[in-house]
Amino acid sequence: MKLLRKSIEKDNAGQVTLMPEEPEDMWHAYNLLRPGDSLRASTIRKVQTESATGSVGSNRVRTTLTLCVETIDFDSQACQLRVKGTNIQENEYVKMGAYHTIELEPNRQFTLAKKQWDSVVLERIEQACDPAWSADVAAVVMQEGLAHVCLVTPSMTLTRAKVEVNIPRKRRGSCAQHDRALERFYDQVAQAIQRHINFEVVKCVLVASPGFVREQFCDYMFQQAVKTDNKLLLENRSKFLQVHSSSGHKYALKEALCDPAVANRLSDTKAAGEVKALDDFYKMLQHEPDRAFYGLKHVEKANEAMAIDTLLISDELFRHQDVATRSRYVKLVDSVKENMGTVRIFSSLHVSGEQLGQLTGVAAILRFPVAELSDEEDESSSEED
């Protein structure tokens, strides 16, 4: 998704112009649109025309309409998004107040205006437009003296750093120069990894090379990490996966990604993080039920006690028709972030999102047990009886 223009005032009213570039962007657009928003986009309208002789014909014309959104229909299989609403701007083909359905298309820009842009929607735009957010796979393709540090997104590969170091050949009786140059090369690659890879987002780092270069590099990097007590690398050691490639050039990354073992490891890596969070919640619910809450009222009370460590929430809740209910979920997300908690927004199209939906769509893993909440609920319900 490309952000072409953004104009949001201090009172959070304003508009953005976006261009979807791939099918996944339609899912992002579906999560941005709400009934009552204003949508301006190019569309096709069937128009009736009357000739001088009085005969009536119809033809299809492309025009740009501005609709007040009423219903939004998303086809998850075809990744098609249809938006129905009434025309709110003068047009030579469509009367004011007339109904029309716009089908948003890839590579055709649209402008979305809202009276209130909340933090969840703005973050969704940031994630959809920033390739680094969707890049949950990183790769280092290397050979002696040459390395490329890349981020792999569903649609493209971004080269974040290229490291080149001249490495002298080994000479008979003396390998010191070669070894020193190799260490310098490994150091620069390790620094590039730490500088350009966001380990909070990236779930897997492929290290690909011909021969034994990848093994030697990983051994050297983690030995140095132990010596310097580099926690960033040591804590994420399990994310590094060594694979074969024919060279250190960027094109060799394709060979590494086509490896069946790698494909299994990388399948749906962002979703795998959601599955683990939900699994942690179920384990907590089983072993320490006072530290696992679900249902909006329970989670809100836990948040008042500043007890939430991880909030699990379905993106379906932010599409709620009632504005007050929707803003209640947004406030909960903002509050948890302010209290240094982690927020995981689950996709309702994924299996883990469907499971969370069965738990009311909102759940929380707590920092400490909060048994009093369930007692308070019991007392209030007995008083009502």
Q: Quick check: helix, strand or coil at residue 81? A: strand
**Contact partners, residue 166, CB within 8 Å, separation at least 6:** 145, 181
CA R_g for the chain = 27
Q: Do 83 and 35 contact (CB within 8 A), yes or no? A: no
Which listed CATH number (3.40.50.1980, 2.30.30.870, 3.40.640.10, 3.40.220.10) goes with 2-133? 2.30.30.870
Domain map (residue ranges) of the chain = 2-133, 137-268, 271-380
Angle CA 120–13–81, to nearest 5: 60
**pLDDT of 323 above 90:** no
What pLDDT, on a 0 to 100 scale, did the predictor assign at position 210? Answer: 93
Residues of the chain with pLDDT > 70: what percent?
90
- Residue whose C-alpha is closest to residue 42's, from 120, 2, 100, 97: 100
Residue with tokens 């290290």: 207
Residue 128: per-residue pLDDT:
84
pLDDT of residue 318 exceeding 50:
yes
* Residue 115: predicted pLDDT: 92
Q: What is the predicted pLDDT for the residue at 225?
A: 94
pLDDT of 384: 43
In CATH terms, are 2-133 and 137-268 the same topology? Answer: no
pLDDT tens digits for range 32-41: 999 999 999 9
Contact 225, 264 (CB under 8 A): no
DSSP strands (E only) in 144-235: 146-152, 157-164, 204-209
Cα gap 212→152, rounded to integer Å: 23
* Whether the Cβ atoms of residue 148 and residue 248 lie closer than 8 Å to each other: yes
Q: And the tokens for 184?
A: 């310098």
β 204-209/240-244 pair status: parallel
For the record, the structure tokens of 36 come out as 């009552």
Nearest to 140 by CA among 118, 154, 119, 160: 160
Cβ–Cβ under 8 Å, residues 87 and 94: yes
Asked if 39 and 83 count as a contact pair (C-beta separation under 8 A), the reply is yes
Q: How many CB atoms lie within 10 A of CB 271?
A: 18
Per-residue pLDDT tens for 255-313?
777 776 676 666 555 555 677 889 899 999 999 999 999 999 999 999 999 999 999 99
What is the predicted pLDDT for the residue at 133?
64
The mean pLDDT of 238-253, rounded to a whole number, is 88
Mean of pLDDT over the chain? 86
Residue whose pair of structure tokens reads 């209130």 in the numeric block: 116
How large is the average pLDDT for residues 370-380?
A: 55
Q: Does domain 137-268 have CATH number 3.30.420.60?
A: yes
Pairing of strands 56-75, 137-143: unpaired
pLDDT band, very low/low/confident/very high, at 383 (cuts 50, 70, 90): very low
| CATH architecture observed for domain 271-380 | 2-Layer Sandwich (3.30)
